[in-house]
A and B are shown apart, each in its own frame.
Chain A
Amino acid sequence: MQDRFSAGRILREALGGNAGWRPWRRNPEPKPRYDVIIVGGGGHGLATAYYLAKLHGIANVAVIEKGWIGGGNAGRNTTIVRSNYLWDESAAIYEHGLKLWEGLSADLNINVMFSQRGVLNLAHTLHDVREGMRRVNANQLNGVDAEWLDAPGVKAFCPLIDISADARWPVLGATLQRRGGTARHDAVVWGYARAADRLGVDIIENAEVTAILRDGQGRFDGVETTRGTIKARTGALVAAGHSSILAAMAGFRLPIESHPLQALVSEPLKRLLDCVVMSNQVHVYVSQSDKGELVMGAGIDAYTSYTQRGALHVIEDQMAAACALFPMFSRVRVMRTWAGIVDVCPDASPIIGATPVPGLYINCGWGTGGFKATPSSGWTLAHTIATGAPHPLNAPFALKRFETGALIDEHGAAAVAH
């Protein structure tokens, strides 16, 4: 039995010295067989399991995680959530996600601290203006909230931004998505895990998948893990930066490069920045956490790697850029830097759907920007697994597109990593 979270419950438990709180989820031993195995206990894998159980009645599911849940990118990202993507296909899936975000705390019964503080994308050149306007117009026609601000409008919305014309990269305007913002990544991971567990999903930690089993017909048949063999007729690889390794175990290749992506936080400061600011030209994306830290991401490290460590010069580039946009940050200090391994697709769009192995699905390629898609990624993959066919939302994101050439190039929208 799980606790139901609420303010009243907090007060009740406080009176009892907090002795009455129960575990958020079970810590089950793996069963020999499940209906569905999901490899990867990041946000996307856990969300997939949750929606499988909740919306499709498939609860005999194992999420298999090599370490602790949320230890990958789910717990390392800069948590920017928005849906103002250019192309129809992307707008649809990210906007579906944003709508899920808007009800997520209530749905999962945990405060995921989804903070709709607004996301600004600054335009510094005529090219930026053109592309920003184009995106705002596309968003509006797709029913996604988007606004174009001129420079004084930017200043009014975010007084910290210098809009003087003699700046190295003067601010000419910005796109604004007010419904965008940030969320608390750990709460998202733990919330999905707790809610999935409540519906009967087994979350198996410290179990690394070391081999993918296939039957005589070549169909998916289970996995070999460091905690033993676990069988299932249906599986999904949701392993972000390690997707290519798992695909290789299953005998196919992915058009993915894995790179370190670094992020950092400053020491906590008194509240000073109330929105998310992104700039492609200066290469900055920054928000201030509820605790007061400035949260910032860097560009990807150029070399491919599976170590969760990046190089110093990338951080130095990032800090030079941050000070160029916000000179008053110069004396603020970096408290922590870290890296995740991001799965970068050639068109900066994800892959969600079938693989060449019958019974095995994949969800990867979110690269530098998949946190925002956690709900819709899990939702669409669950639909695909449950029905054996993609939902219209994820049909365009099939692996096959790299054969047909029907790419969904979102480099424009993803020019800075986020």
Chain B
Amino acid sequence: MTGSRLPAGGLIDRTKPISFTFEGRALTGYAGDSVASALLANDVRIVGRSFKRHRPRGLLSLGMEEPNAILNVGTGAHAAPNRFATELPLAQGLAVSPTRGWPSSRFDLGGVLDLWPTPLAAGFYYKTFIGPRLPGVRDAWNRLWEPLLRSLAGQGRAPEGVDPDAYDHAHIEVDVAVVGAGLAGLAAAEAALGRGARVALFERDIRPGGRALGRDGDPRIDDAAPLAWAEGAWARIADNPRATAKLRTTAFGLYDGRQLAVYELPVDGPYAGRIWHVRAKEIVIAAGALERPMTFPGNDRPGVMLASAVEAAIRRYGVRPGGQAVVFLNHGDGAGLRQALNAADIEIVAEVGPDETVTGTQGFGRLQSVDIAPLGPDGLPRMDARRRVPADLLATSGGWSPALALHLIQGGRQAWSEADGCFIAAGGGQDGVRLAGAANARFSAAAALADGHGSTAGGAPGPKTTGGDAAPSGQGLPLAPIAAERLKRQAFIDFQHDVTVADIGLAAREGFHAIEHAKRYTTAGMGTDQGRTAQLATAAALAAATGREIGDIGLSGLRPPVTPVPFGALGGWRRGALFAPVRQTPMHRRHEALGAVFEDVGDWKRARYYAAPGEAMAPAVARECRAVRTAVGALDVSTLGKIAVAGPDAAAFLNRVYTNRMDTLAVGACRYGVMLKDDGMVFDDGVVARLGPNRFHVTTTSGGAAAVLNWLEDWRQTEWPDLKVWLASVTEQWAGVAVAGPNAARTLAALAPELDLSDTAFPHLTWRDATAAGLSARIFRVSFSGERGYEINVPWRHGEALWDAVLAAGAIPYGTEAMHVLRAEKGFIVVGHETDGTVTPVDLGLSWLISAKKGDFIGKRALARPALTAPGRKQLVGLEPEDASVVLDEGAQIIATATPRPPEPMLGHVASSYWSSALNRGFALALVKDGRARHGERLFAWSLGVAHAVRVRDPVFYDPKGARLHA
């Protein structure tokens, strides 16, 4: 292999070469590489273009903080946009390309935007494209500028088609959850296991060890090299039956109740994954620290890398990231870096001392030289005394910041620590959540181990360290002194979004002094890298620009997820058929066989009508209606919501829930009722049957069953806990078939010969237990069609047998559409058609359902309020289109004229509208202002520009006397 791979060393497996492509170029790396390290090994220096100015960018880091190397992975449905090269283990055949740059990342036409960046400074788009003043273009923003900006913006390309991967959700409860398997996290996990705790340990990387992975020169731990110790500790933990230890698994959120959200990816592949919902008594955040790049002019040139990334390239990946290096640190912890550079035979051409700074870099697409200048007495660089040194690598470190993200997103606070040179946690988090190690500003190996171990007190003594112990000492703000405005424009704070020191200065000049305002105005820290390398620099630059202390400015807030998580992973198994599982009745197969066309009602599929081969909807519905009106029909009513209400106070409870009395209901009888919300509006309706003195069977609408049960439980549990009553959903205990029509009794008699069906023995609105079709059944004599009707209920599993028997006895199947026609002909309401949350029972002509004789019920007080009794309310009426052949649109508005002039006063709307074969005309139910006083009036139903004259009438179109109930 050519490129920059060192002849030996690193945690890669040189016996396992892996081929992959970058922008179509075939490249090779090794097992153990990340895509980023493999690119570096192949001498790929430009890994992408920046968002705004399309500047060529290289790898700044080799870790999760990477702002530049954002790739599209794969194509088609397998595409994964915006993946970080540093977080992708190299895999055979992987095809990656940068998300920005056209035609390529090396030659990007968008680069013209960088020729004169000044007009594109922070917030420029707020200040232009304002007026519609562009000659010849009306509404220039909407038609021209925004579409143009939108086409220029964006990063990765969205995949196409359905995600081929599946994502799992798992739940785990432990005593101690530890985030991070660096030295502190390993020590914490081992200590907790030593105390007998159940432990979960999550590590983002594909290997344990944290900082030890790419570093040398730390002390020996329990007489082993740090990495060897870490691997040993990991093995001990992973082997412990009380422990769950996961690699490539990132804690991305911390929620109330110590719920840790963790995303696990396969160690050996880029895709799919599992979300862990972790509940822990104690949580140890040992997520380490993040290195900060120094901010100086030219700091975004490919070849400028974080010192830790240079170390990791050499030590972990066996890659030589350059030949001649400049070292620019703002703290005293450079020994490890120097050793690594020496080991890789990289010449240190210059070290920028404490009284010097970098004032610029040169080279197209790759660093060639670095300008270094001494600082003058005013603290600014003396440009006249600067020298230029040739270098293709600049290793920079502006110190380290504890990884506080998890602490902050759970509500924790932070404060500036002058001693540590970083923001540290300052309380405010949940009880039982602790930070440890570098995350707790314990930067040396010995201190981190002790902190990790001690954070779970008790048990055996912690790991012992021997030898030197380095830590960044005296680290200051990661902001180099910069002389001129022009240089500030080239000193990048947010690499992904091209935010410079000049942009922060501009924001400050324009009054955006709050960190959150400056961030939003400049977009610093709002990229996919979550501003990990930008946050502190933004605050430092704002402090400098406004002459304030950084501690008074603070860092901008952090929000979950700590690292991006795919939509599909968060959705988990609730995809495809499992998203909103379809509910089917036990007769579903029969409906299918009968040619049913289904409609969605709640989660249910209900047969809307049964089309014979070649039969259209209208004739099918007409046929079904005729069957019910002239013979007998069968409707699957299994979907009706059913609630068992039991207990000594069951009757009292129902009395408070329905508008009418339920306590007077006799055992064996049933009664129609409506329930109201507390605002007096109809919420649901159904039939209540009394099964015994303390037992009721309540039915609800099919779609409303769950909402009604929740509502009842809410009242039962929170308002009336004194009532002795229990509720249970029995919807799926009972399958039901409604048998309706003049021949209904004959049909039922054939099924239940021993049942006396006479009006005296089994009157309307009663129920009986009986054997029907050999099944033990509960039969309600109720009618929703106006015809004599029975609803036969049998245990759910017998639904199909019942259906077959009813059809065998001669009933014609009918669907929900015919059901609607039949009930509307009778003027019966359906919740959701004739009600919309603003309709009272009085509006519906159901005043007779409101009992004046009983005590309080939900909505009673509201019904007495002036607006609910005032004239002008919309009331239920029937409508007959003057042209009998017209079927009005449901949702048509009722107006007084055929030629409306907006704003045209609306009198009401069409709630239900059908063709009636019994009446041989179109008809409708509507809610119309003062409708009951308008019977006979001529109005217009207006829909999508068409007005139809209608005559207002009583809502009962068919059999107003109800004689057919007893036919």
Interface residues of A (CB under 8 A from B): 5-7, 9-11, 14-15, 17-19, 21-25, 27, 68, 70-71, 75, 88, 92, 105-106, 109-111, 113-117, 124-127, 129-138, 140-143, 148, 168-169, 184, 186-187, 190-191, 205, 266-272, 274, 288, 290-292, 307, 309, 311-312, 315-316, 318-324, 327-338, 346-347, 401, 403-407, 409, 411-412
- Among A168, A328, A333, the one with the most B-chain Cβ atoms within 10 Å of its Cβ is A333
Residues 534 to 575 of chain B near chain A (Cβ within 8 Å): 559-561, 564-568, 570-572, 574-575
B724 at interface, CB cutoff 8 A: no
User: Nearest A residue to B139 by beta-carbon distance?
Assistant: A116
- Expressed in whole angstroms, the Cα–Cα distance for A312 and B254 within the complex equals 9
> Taking the nearest CB of chain A, how far is it from the CB of B843, in angstroms?
13
| Chain B residues closer than 8 Å to A17, beta-carbon distance | 118, 485-486
- Expressed in whole angstroms, the Cα–Cα distance for A393 and B582 within the complex equals 44
In the complex, are the beta carbons of A21 and B155 less than 8 A apart?
no
| Chain A residues closer than 8 Å to B679, beta-carbon distance | 346-347, 405, 407, 409
- Expressed in whole angstroms, the Cα–Cα distance for A205 and B511 within the complex equals 12
B837 at interface, CB cutoff 8 A: yes
In the complex, are the beta carbons of B121 and A18 less than 8 A apart?
yes
- Expressed in whole angstroms, the Cα–Cα distance for A337 and B600 within the complex equals 32
| Chain A residues closer than 8 Å to B51, beta-carbon distance | 268
- Among A134, A190, A321, A331, the one with the most B-chain Cβ atoms within 10 Å of its Cβ is A331
In the complex, are the beta carbons of A190 and B261 less than 8 A apart?
no
Partner of A125, one of B160, B599, B868, B944: B599
8 nearest A-B residue pairs (beta carbon): A133-B891, A292-B154, A405-B865, A330-B568, A134-B891, A23-B511, A330-B163, A143-B902
- Expressed in whole angstroms, the Cα–Cα distance for A267 and B229 within the complex equals 38
Partner of A320, one of B81, B521, B579: B579
| Chain A residues closer than 8 Å to B838, beta-carbon distance | 407, 409
- Expressed in whole angstroms, the Cα–Cα distance for A127 and B679 within the complex equals 23
Residues 107 to 157 of chain B near chain A (Cβ within 8 Å): 116, 118-119, 121, 124-132, 139, 141-142, 146, 149-151, 153-157
Contacts A291-B154, A309-B409 supplied; 13 other A-B pairs, CB < 8 Å = A5-B130, A105-B130, A117-B142, A133-B889, A133-B890, A141-B895, A268-B51, A268-B153, A323-B575, A327-B163, A335-B561, A337-B560, A401-B867
> Taking the nearest CB of chain A, how far is it from the CB of B619, in angstroms?
19
- Expressed in whole angstroms, the Cα–Cα distance for A272 and B520 within the complex equals 24
In the complex, are the beta carbons of B891 and A333 less than 8 A apart?
no
> Taking the nearest CB of chain A, how far is it from the CB of B505, in angstroms?
9
User: Nearest B residue to A336 by beta-carbon distance?
Assistant: B559
> Taking the nearest CB of chain B, how far is it from the CB of A337, in angstroms?
6
Please choose the segment from B185-193, B213-221, B385-393, B903-911 that sits at the chain A interface, where 4 or more of its residues have CB less than 8 A away.
Answer: B903-911
B103 at interface, CB cutoff 8 A: no
- Among A288, A329, A330, the one with the most B-chain Cβ atoms within 10 Å of its Cβ is A330
| Chain B residues closer than 8 Å to A309, beta-carbon distance | 255-256, 409-411
User: Nearest A residue to B410 by beta-carbon distance?
Assistant: A309
User: Nearest A residue to B497 by beta-carbon distance?
Assistant: A291
> Taking the nearest CB of chain B, how far is it from the CB of A236, in angstroms?
24
In the complex, are the beta carbons of B867 and A271 less than 8 A apart?
no
Q: Can you report 9 residue pairs joining A to B where beta carbons are below 8 Å apart?
A: A70-B517, A132-B891, A133-B944, A140-B944, A268-B156, A324-B580, A327-B162, A328-B159, A332-B566
In the complex, are the beta carbons of B506 and A327 less than 8 A apart?
no
Partner of A106, one of B80, B132, B159: B132
- Expressed in whole angstroms, the Cα–Cα distance for A292 and B509 within the complex equals 29
In the complex, are the beta carbons of A268 and B565 less than 8 A apart?
no
In the complex, are the beta carbons of B160 and A316 less than 8 A apart?
no
| Chain A residues closer than 8 Å to B903, beta-carbon distance | 88, 92, 141-143
> Taking the nearest CB of chain A, how far is it from the CB of B185, in angstroms?
22
> Taking the nearest CB of chain B, how far is it from the CB of A33, in angstroms?
25
In the complex, are the beta carbons of A331 and B80 less than 8 A apart?
yes
Partner of B158, one of A6, A140, A328: A328
- Knowing A141-B902, A331-B81 touch, does A411 contact B567 (C-beta < 8 A)? no
> Taking the nearest CB of chain B, how far is it from the CB of A95, in angstroms?
9
User: Nearest B residue to A19 by beta-carbon distance?
Assistant: B485
Partner of A21, one of B125, B506, B565: B506
User: Nearest A residue to B80 by beta-carbon distance?
Assistant: A331
- Among B77, B81, B126, B582, the one with the most A-chain Cβ atoms within 10 Å of its Cβ is B126
| Chain B residues closer than 8 Å to A18, beta-carbon distance | 118, 121, 485, 502, 506
- Expressed in whole angstroms, the Cα–Cα distance for A190 and B892 within the complex equals 42
| Chain B residues closer than 8 Å to A292, beta-carbon distance | 150, 153-155
In the complex, are the beta carbons of A115 and B146 less than 8 A apart?
yes
User: Nearest B residue to A102 by beta-carbon distance?
Assistant: B139
> Taking the nearest CB of chain A, how far is it from the CB of B279, in angstroms?
12
Partner of A7, one of B128, B509, B837: B128
Interface residues of B (CB under 8 A from A): 51, 77, 79-82, 116, 118-119, 121, 124-132, 139, 141-142, 146, 149-151, 153-163, 165, 169, 253, 255-256, 259, 261, 275, 277, 409-411, 485-486, 502, 506, 509-514, 516-517, 520-521, 528, 530, 559-561, 564-568, 570-572, 574-575, 577, 579-580, 582, 599-601, 679-681, 703, 832-833, 836-838, 862, 865-868, 889-893, 895, 900, 902-904, 906, 909, 942-945
- Expressed in whole angstroms, the Cα–Cα distance for A70 and B159 within the complex equals 35
- Expressed in whole angstroms, the Cα–Cα distance for A307 and B162 within the complex equals 37
| Chain B residues closer than 8 Å to A27, beta-carbon distance | 511, 513
Partner of A315, one of B564, B570, B942: B570
> Taking the nearest CB of chain A, how far is it from the CB of B909, in angstroms?
5
In the complex, are the beta carbons of B127 and A6 less than 8 A apart?
yes
> Taking the nearest CB of chain A, how far is it from the CB of B864, in angstroms?
9
| Chain B residues closer than 8 Å to A142, beta-carbon distance | 902-904, 906
In the complex, are the beta carbons of B520 and A75 less than 8 A apart?
yes
- Expressed in whole angstroms, the Cα–Cα distance for A168 and B131 within the complex equals 45
| Chain A residues closer than 8 Å to B944, beta-carbon distance | 133, 136-137, 140, 148
| Chain A residues closer than 8 Å to B516, beta-carbon distance | 68, 71
In the complex, are the beta carbons of A269 and B158 less than 8 A apart?
yes
- Knowing A23-B509, A137-B892 touch, does A311 contact B255 (C-beta < 8 A)? yes
In the complex, are the beta carbons of A328 and B154 less than 8 A apart?
no
User: Nearest A residue to B156 by beta-carbon distance?
Assistant: A269
In the complex, are the beta carbons of B161 and A328 less than 8 A apart?
yes
> Taking the nearest CB of chain A, how far is it from the CB of B522, in angstroms?
11
User: Nearest B residue to A147 by beta-carbon distance?
Assistant: B944
> Taking the nearest CB of chain B, how far is it from the CB of A214, in angstroms?
29
User: Nearest B residue to A137 by beta-carbon distance?
Assistant: B893
> Taking the nearest CB of chain B, how far is it from the CB of A25, in angstroms?
6
In the complex, are the beta carbons of B570 and A105 less than 8 A apart?
no
In the complex, are the beta carbons of A290 and B153 less than 8 A apart?
yes
| Chain B residues closer than 8 Å to A412, beta-carbon distance | 836-837
- Knowing A21-B506, A130-B890, A269-B157 touch, does A330 contact B575 (C-beta < 8 A)? yes
User: Nearest B residue to A186 by beta-carbon distance?
Assistant: B520
In the complex, are the beta carbons of B81 and A5 less than 8 A apart?
no
In the complex, are the beta carbons of B146 and A331 less than 8 A apart?
no
Partner of A316, one of B149, B570, B680: B570
- Knowing A111-B141, A269-B157 touch, does A190 contact B567 (C-beta < 8 A)? no
In the complex, are the beta carbons of B891 and A312 less than 8 A apart?
no
Partner of B866, one of A205, A338, A404: A404
| Chain A residues closer than 8 Å to B510, beta-carbon distance | 21-24
| Chain A residues closer than 8 Å to B514, beta-carbon distance | 68, 205
- Expressed in whole angstroms, the Cα–Cα distance for A324 and B838 within the complex equals 31
User: Nearest B residue to A406 by beta-carbon distance?
Assistant: B867
- Expressed in whole angstroms, the Cα–Cα distance for A113 and B862 within the complex equals 44
Partner of B128, one of A22, A111, A130, A311: A111
- Among A138, A309, A401, A405, the one with the most B-chain Cβ atoms within 10 Å of its Cβ is A405
Partner of A319, one of B506, B568, B867: B568
In the complex, are the beta carbons of A138 and B893 less than 8 A apart?
yes
- Knowing A11-B119, A23-B511, A328-B160 touch, does A106 contact B131 (C-beta < 8 A)? yes
In the complex, are the beta carbons of B559 and A328 less than 8 A apart?
no
- Expressed in whole angstroms, the Cα–Cα distance for A295 and B653 within the complex equals 45
In the complex, are the beta carbons of B680 and A323 less than 8 A apart?
no
- Expressed in whole angstroms, the Cα–Cα distance for A288 and B150 within the complex equals 9
> Taking the nearest CB of chain B, how far is it from the CB of A159, in angstroms?
12
